[in-house]
């Protein structure tokens, strides 16, 4: 299977679990997407992890221009007020539309757990066909002597605990947006 097929599979599988998937070419588009979506949903705040200092400054400026607040770290002091989170993704798993995120940093955990809307940025080159093909990478993290918190995220949080009716958005984010970055098309 050529890699472009995995990108397509990733998109399809993520969409079957109610993730909203778009393709972008660079980070600035992700910022625009984040701000537009937050405004559309009536949110006031954005939490972003994993950005370079220059990107962070850029996002802060853009947020301010749109009357949104880019929340400062540590996010634990903002647990009541995170509307949108924007986080990078380490890997994608096409077979199931899964995002793989090293969440050992508490800020990453809080951003991906407490936000109403989670926007995840996934480089197309990081999409693997299945979980087995990530075994080595994942095991390298787990086998290190340091503590770790590692996550597979597939779609928004969900339950079927009342009459087996599927409801999206229980305790975790109510929406999951995936932005696939296709660098080679730049």
Whichever of 52 and 80 has its CB closer to other proteins, that residue is 80
Residue 78 near other proteins by CB under 8 A: no
Order of strands across the sheet that contains 127-128: 98-102, 91-93, 127-128
Cα separation, 135 vs 138, in Å, equals 5
Q: Using CB under 8 A, which of 163, 184, 185, 186 touches other proteins?
A: 163
Confirm or reject binding of residue 41 to other proteins (CB under 8 A): no
- DSSP of 30-54, one letter per residue? HHHHHHHHHHHTT--EEEE-S--HH
Of 96 and 117, nearer to other proteins (C-beta) is 96
The interface region with other proteins, picked from 4-12, 21-29, 52-60, 134-142 by CB under 8 A, is 134-142
- CA 178: distance to chain centroid? 6
Contact predicate 141/120, CB 8 Å = no
Residues that bind other proteins (CB under 8 A): 13, 17, 74, 76, 79-80, 95-96, 98, 104-106, 109-110, 113-114, 131-132, 135, 138-139, 142-143, 145-165, 167, 169-173
């Amino acid at each position: 299977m050529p890699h472009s097929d995995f990108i397509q599979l990733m998109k399809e599988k993520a969409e079957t679990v109610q993730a909203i998937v778009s393709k972008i070419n660079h980070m600035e588009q992700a910022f625009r997407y984040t701000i537009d979506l937050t405004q559309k949903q009536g949110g006031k705040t954005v939490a972003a992890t994993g950005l370079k200092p220059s990107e962070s400054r850029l996002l802060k400026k853009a947020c301010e221009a749109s009357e949104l607040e880019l929340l400062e770290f540590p996010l634990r002091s903002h647990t009541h007020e995170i509307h949108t989170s924007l986080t990078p993704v380490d890997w994608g798993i096409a077979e199931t539309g899964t995002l793989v995120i090293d969440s050992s940093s508490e800020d990453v955990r809080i951003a991906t757990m407490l936000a109403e809307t989670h926007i995840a940025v996934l480089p197309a080159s990081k999409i693997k066909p299945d979980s087995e093909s990530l075994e080595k990478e994942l095991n390298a993290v787990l086998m290190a002597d340091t503590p770790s918190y590692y996550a597979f995220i597939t779609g928004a949080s969900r339950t079927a605990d009342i009459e087996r009716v599927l409801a999206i958005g229980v305790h975790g984010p109510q929406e999951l947006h995936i932005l696939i970055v296709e660098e080679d098309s730049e």
